[in-house]
Structure 1
Amino acid sequence: MLSVNDFKPEAVIVGAGEFPSHPIPLKWLEGCQRVVCCDGAADRYLETGMPIWRIVGDCDSLSPENSLRYAPIIRRFADQETNDQTKAALYLHGKGYNHIAIIAATGMREDHTLGNISLLIDYMRQGIDARIYTDYGVFIPVSGNASFRCPAGTRVSIFSFGATKFRAEGLRYPLHDFTSWWQGTLNDTVNDDFSIEADGDYLVFINYEK
């Protein structure tokens, strides 16, 4: 059964979006031995004084000073067909780390936000268990049937990536085969757990408890 708090990431990817202030995404940084910053996101992250393990990307936005100072932990990938978040996820995947929390992936650039979130489906299809944590909730990619644990009254949204035969228990509003992304939004739980049945892939967004 999936939940917001029970995830055990082997690594954390830090993007260049809004840096979180909520305790849930921040707790993944505490004691994490593998914090990977996406290119220029390292400039801001290094100002926090928290430890960093790798800087991954094409490194076109990393400051010259940090490019020189942190050269031993920089991993450059010039591929322009993938963004820096994907470069970081694939780098970790290649090292055998497949349970990944991604923070600072949203905000500031709405186009990047949509792209970063949708990429979770691609990662899942490659065997990577990655989630995006924001200051408001968590995006979880799912394939097929899944169960979730969260208090009754939790706000939940579902985004279909071609999935069909939707059915749910524990949600206020019934699910159906969506033809647009918005159609699965603005639901909420009526029990302390809920389940979804479907054929195919979809994203679940679960808001944090208030």
Structure 2
Amino acid sequence: MQKKAVILANGAFPTHEIPLKELKNSKHIVCCDGAINNLEEAKIEPYAIVGDLDSLDPDLKWKYRDIIYHFSNQDNNDLTKAVNWCLENNFNEVVIVGATGKRDDHMIGNIFLLPLYAKKIRVRMLTSYGIFTPILRSKNFESYTRQQVSIFSPNSNTSITTANLRYALTSQKLDMMWQGTLNESMGDSFRIEFEGGPLIIYQEY
């Protein structure tokens, strides 16, 4: 049985209708610490608040005291704590929103944590511009003609072959992170095949 949570990180609150719809339609919104301040302004109810509570407004800490889960461990960031909480509470899918914007270093860190999460749970990250999907094995993607697509390969030894992208890769390794960016879909789907991995695929809305 599919049990999905939407994790709201404490980055820039989403503005695009797709991540906003995920928030408004979800019964299981897990807030990373101070993200509850933005959720409160949007008049959306949280399901749980997870983190070290260092950026939580005292009034909201009292208001939501029954659904707060405090983890003081500094070895993991609040986003990882929220994903781990979802795993411990039998969720098998998470959609992450609000994980970009504000601090660029946090944004990059959050994006490149996705393959770690993907080993444990089905995960996607929605921004105000597009979707990041981590993959551990070859995969077909739904798309549309001229959709902008980027491939990020944390492991430079990964051999990648693509189908139905404008700039084809054939058993190619990406030595630098930028080399798989700014590609384009040629139709209503494309395929990424690879040996090694993981990969992170970005698709604009």
Matched with 1:143 is 136
Instruction: Say which SS state the counterpart of residue 30 (structure 1) adopts.
Output: helix
Matched with 1:202 is 199
Matched with 1:152 is 145
Q: Distance between the aligned counterparts of 1:189 and 1:9, measured in 2?
A: 31
Instruction: Say which SS state the counterpart of residue 101 (structure 2) adopts.
Output: coil
> CA offset at residue 161 of structure 1?
2.1
Matches within 5 A, 1:1-210: 10-125=4-119, 127-162=120-155, 164-175=158-169, 176-199=172-195, 200-208=197-205
Q: Distance between the aligned counterparts of 2:54 and 2:45, measured in 1?
A: 22
Runs of 4+ in 1 over 2 A off after TM superposition: none
- Is the alpha carbon distance of 1:9 and 1:118 closer, same or farther for their aligned partners in structure 2, counting shifts above 3 Å? farther
Instruction: Say which SS state the counterpart of residue 201 (structure 2) adopts.
Output: strand
> CA offset at residue 30 of structure 1?
2.3
Conservation of the 8 A alpha-carbon contact between 2:3 and 2:90: no
Deviations 1:145-194 (A, max 9, x none): 10011111100000002152210100011222001110000000112110
Conservation of the 8 A alpha-carbon contact between 1:153 and 1:189: yes
Q: Give the length in aligned residue pairs.
A: 200
Deviations 1:115-137 (A, max 9, x none): 11111111012x21111101110
> CA offset at residue 98 of structure 1?
2.1
Conservation of the 8 A alpha-carbon contact between 2:39 and 2:45: no
> CA offset at residue 14 of structure 1?
0.6
Instruction: Say which SS state the counterpart of residue 148 (structure 1) adopts.
Output: strand
Deviations 1:35-74 (A, max 9, x none): 0110011112112111111110010110111112211100
Conservation of the 8 A alpha-carbon contact between 1:141 and 1:202: yes
Structure 2, unmatched stretches of 5+, are none
Q: Distance between the aligned counterparts of 2:33 and 2:107, measured in 1?
A: 16
- What is the identity percentage for the equivalent residue pairs of Structure 1 and Structure 2? 41
Conservation of the 8 A alpha-carbon contact between 1:9 and 1:28: no
Conservation of the 8 A alpha-carbon contact between 1:154 and 1:206: yes
Q: Distance between the aligned counterparts of 1:15 and 1:198, measured in 2?
A: 30
Give the TM-score normalised by the residue count of structure 1.
0.92
Instruction: Say which SS state the counterpart of residue 61 (structure 1) adopts.
Output: coil
